[in-house]
Amino acid sequence: MFRFPPEVLAKAKPIKLLLLDVDGVLTDGSIILTGEGEEIKIFSVLDGTGIKFLQRAGVIVGILSGRISSAVKHRARELGIELVYQGELAKVPAYERILKELNLKDEEVSYAGDDWLDIPILKRVGLAIGVPNGWPPVNNYVHYVTSKEGGKGAVREICELILQGKGLWESYLQGFLSL
């Protein structure tokens, strides 16, 4: 079980939406291209499980990416993520549309990012998350840096952080241990 600082857990309690960048957060940032130009991405099963835990707890999970990828669309569909914004190089206008659509305030949103495009949103949200394999200056704008790298369990760690902040992690853990 991850141990999080109390001030970070307090920021996690009101979270109703977890927004994720893709390259470098949901993946390790690598882009694999086949000889035909088809893009292949590698996603962590641990992250997918964490996302499902969070969704069961009533937290919406969304994707906000600067790139467009059919692999992301497919993975989002597998995980039941309906809130998918791709091709958003200027992420703030998309973020503001999301807030309006879901009737949320900044403090009810957690965002995980790894590059300079993410900084404007990281500066606004209630719980800003960075990853250790991200562009180093980005982590000057976050409340927490995961111990796991993007694409290698970072999102699972974020999901556990939010569930712990909401006081739900122990019941999830006990539910699985008693099976």
pLDDT digits (tens, 9 = 90+) for 37-76: 899 999 999 999 999 999 999 999 999 999 999 999 999 9
What letters, b where the CB count within 10 A reaches 16 and e where it falls short, cover 136-153? eebbebbbbebebbbbbb
- Of 79, 92, 128, the C-alpha closest to 107 is 128
Looking at domain 6-168, its CATH architecture is: 3-Layer(aba) Sandwich (3.40)
Residues 109-137 have a mean pLDDT of: 97
Domain definitions of the chain by residue range: 6-168
**Mean pLDDT score of the chain, rounded to an integer?**
95
Q: pLDDT tier at 172 (50, 70, 90 boundaries)?
A: confident
- CA 34/CA 133 separation, integer angstroms: 25
pTM above 0.85, yes or no: yes
Q: What is the DSSP annotation of 95-150?
A: HHHHHHHHT--GGGEEEE--SGGGHHHHTTSSEEEE-TTS-GGGGGG-SEE-SSPT
Length of the chain: 179
- CA 89/CA 79 separation, integer angstroms: 24
Q: pLDDT tier at 93 (50, 70, 90 boundaries)?
A: very high
Task: Look at residue 2 in the predicted model and tell me its pLDDT.
Answer: 84
Task: Look at residue 118 in the predicted model and tell me its pLDDT.
Answer: 98
| SS3 state of residue 153 | coil
| SS3 state of residue 154 | helix
